[in-house]
Amino acid sequence: MKFTFAQSTMLRSIQKIIGAVSARAPMPALSNFHLKLDGRNLIMTSTDLEVTISATVELLESEGDGGVLIQAKRFQDLIRELPDIPLEIEVVDPFKVTLRGEGIGVYNLPGEDPIDFPELPVIDSKTSFHISAEIFKRMIGKTLFAVSKDEMRPVLTGILFQLRGSEIRVVATDGHRLSRVSRQDVAFSGEARDDIIPMKALTILQRNLDDDDDVEITLADTRASFSTSKQRLITRLIDGHYPKYESVIPQANPNHLRIKMSDFMSSIRRVSIFSSHISKQIKFTLEHGKATVEAEDPEYGGRGREQFNVEYAGDSLEIAYNAGYLMDTLRQVDTEDALFELGNSNDAGIIRPSSQADKEDFLMLLMPIRLR
Amino acid sequence: MSWIHKGEIERVRQSEMATEKLPSRLEAAPDVSSNTSQKLYLHVDMDAFFASVEERDNPSLKGRPIAVGGSVDGLKGIVTAANYPARKFGLKAGMTAIEAKRRCPQIIFVHLDARKYTYASAQIMDLLESFSPDLRILSVDEASLEISGIIRRYGSPAAVGQAVKDAIISRCNLPSTVGIATNRLTAKVAADTSKPNGLRYLIPGSEAAYLAPLPVSKMCGIGPATEASLAKFGIKTLGELANASEDMFRLKFGVVGPALIQMARGQYAGRMAHDDARGTDEKSMGHERTFGAPILDRAELRGWVVALSEMIARRVRTAAMVGRVLTMKLRYNDFETLHHQSVIPEPTDDEEMLILQGWKLLDQCWQQGRPVRLLGLSLGSLIPKVESIHQMNLFIGNQVFRREALYKALDSLKDKFGEKIILRAMGHSQRVRRDLISFGKSPK
* CATH label, B212-270, candidates 1.10.150.20, 3.30.420.80, 2.60.40.10, 3.30.70.1520: 1.10.150.20
Q: What is the pLDDT of residues A346-368, one digit of tens each?
A: 899 999 999 999 999 999 999 99
pLDDT score at A189: 79
For residue B395, list chain A residues with Cβ-Cβ distance below 8 A: 175, 243, 248
For residue A246, list chain B residues with Cβ-Cβ distance below 8 A: none
Task: Choose among B384, B336, B342: nearest CA to B362.
Answer: B342
Residue A88 burial (C-beta neighbours within 10 Å; 0-12, 13-18, 19+)? middle
pLDDT score at B289: 84
Report helix, strand or coil for B365: helix
Q: What gap in Å lies between CA B94 and CA B109, rounded to an integer?
A: 14
**Helix axis angle, A199-208 relative to A133-141, nearest 10°?**
130
pLDDT score at B2: 37
pLDDT score at A214: 94
Q: What gap in Å lies between CA B368 and CA B363, rounded to an integer?
A: 8
**Confidence category of residue B270, pLDDT binned at 50, 70, 90:** low
Give A225's DSSP letter: E
Q: What is the pLDDT of residues B126-167, one digit of tens each?
A: 888 888 877 888 888 899 988 888 888 888 899 999 999 999
Contact A31, A21 (CB under 8 A): yes
pLDDT score at B13: 30
DSSP β-ladder status, B66-68 and B108-110: parallel
Contact A367 B392 (CB under 8 A): yes
pLDDT score at A338: 95
pLDDT score at B21: 30
pLDDT, chain B, mean: 79
For residue A367, list chain B residues with Cβ-Cβ distance below 8 A: 391-394
Interface test with B, best of A318, A344, A366, A372 (most B CBs within 10 A): A372
**Nearest residue, CB atoms, B392 vs list A149, A370, A372:** A370
pLDDT score at B438: 29
Given a cut of 60, is residue B180 above it in pLDDT? yes
B398 touches chain A (CB under 8 A): no
pLDDT score at B122: 86
Domain A127-247 in this protein, CATH class:
alpha beta
Give A369's DSSP letter: B
pLDDT score at B430: 59
Q: What gap in Å lies between CA B423 and CA B435, rounded to an integer?
A: 15
pLDDT score at B5: 40
Given a cut of 50, is residue B280 above it in pLDDT? no
- In sequence order, the 6+-apart residues with CB closer than 8 A to the CB of B322 are B316, B347, B348, B349, B382, B383, B384, B385
Q: What gap in Å lies between CA B247 and CA B268, rounded to an integer?
A: 17
Contact A248 B383 (CB under 8 A): no
B142 is catalytic: yes
Report helix, strand or coil for A104: coil
Given a cut of 80, is residue B427 above it in pLDDT? no
DSSP β-ladder status, B199-201 and B176-181: parallel
Q: How far from the centroid of its chain's Cα atoms is residue A165's Cα?
A: 24
Contact B360 A151 (CB under 8 A): yes
Given a cut of 70, is residue B10 above it in pLDDT? no
Q: What is the pLDDT of residues B240-249, one digit of tens each?
A: 888 888 888 8
CATH numeric code, B1-205: 3.30.70.270
Helix intervals (H) in B233-335: 238-242, 246-253, 256-264, 270-278, 298-318
Distances (CA, A) of B355 to A224, A344, B259: 34, 34, 42
Peptide bond just before A353 cis, omega within 30 deg = no
pLDDT score at B31: 40
Contact A322 B391 (CB under 8 A): yes
Contact A304, A270 (CB under 8 A): yes
Given a cut of 70, is residue B425 above it in pLDDT? yes
Helix intervals (H) in A130-288: 133-141, 199-208, 261-272
pLDDT score at B277: 53
B396 touches chain A (CB under 8 A): yes
The domain over range A2-116 is classified in CATH as 3.10.150.10: yes
- Reported as type and span, the H/E element at residue A361 is strand A360-366
Contact A177, A328 (CB under 8 A): yes
pLDDT score at B272: 64
pLDDT per residue as tens, chain A (372 positions) = 999 999 999 999 999 999 999 777 778 889 999 999 988 889 999 999 999 999 999 999 999 889 999 999 999 999 999 999 999 999 998 889 999 999 899 999 989 999 989 988 888 887 889 999 999 999 999 999 999 988 778 999 999 999 998 899 999 999 999 999 999 988 777 889 999 999 999 999 999 999 999 999 999 989 999 999 999 999 999 999 999 999 999 999 999 999 999 999 999 999 999 998 778 899 999 998 899 999 988 777 889 999 989 999 999 999 999 999 999 999 999 999 999 999 999 899 999 999 999 999 999 999 999 876
CATH T-level fold of B280-436: Dna Ligase; domain 1 (3.30.1490)
Given a cut of 70, is residue B34 above it in pLDDT? no
- Sketch the domain layout of chain B as residue ranges: 1-205, 212-270, 280-436
Report helix, strand or coil for A25: coil
Q: What gap in Å lies between CA B411 and CA B53, rounded to an integer?
A: 35
* CATH label, A250-366, candidates 3.10.150.10, 3.30.1330.10, 3.40.50.460, 3.50.50.60: 3.10.150.10
Residues facing A179 on adjacent strands: A172, A364
- Sketch the domain layout of chain A as residue ranges: 2-116, 127-247, 250-366
Distances (CA, A) of B188 to B40, B44, B221: 12, 8, 12
**Which of these ranges, A70-84, B42-56, B222-236, B274-288, has the smallest mean pLDDT?**
B274-288
* Closest residue in chain A to residue B342, using alpha carbons only: A151
Contact B391 A279 (CB under 8 A): yes
- In sequence order, the 6+-apart residues with CB closer than 8 A to the CB of B85 are B63, B64, B65, B66
Decide which of B281 and A74 is more confident.
Answer: A74
pLDDT score at B271: 61
For residue B390, list chain A residues with Cβ-Cβ distance below 8 A: 369-370
pLDDT score at A372: 64
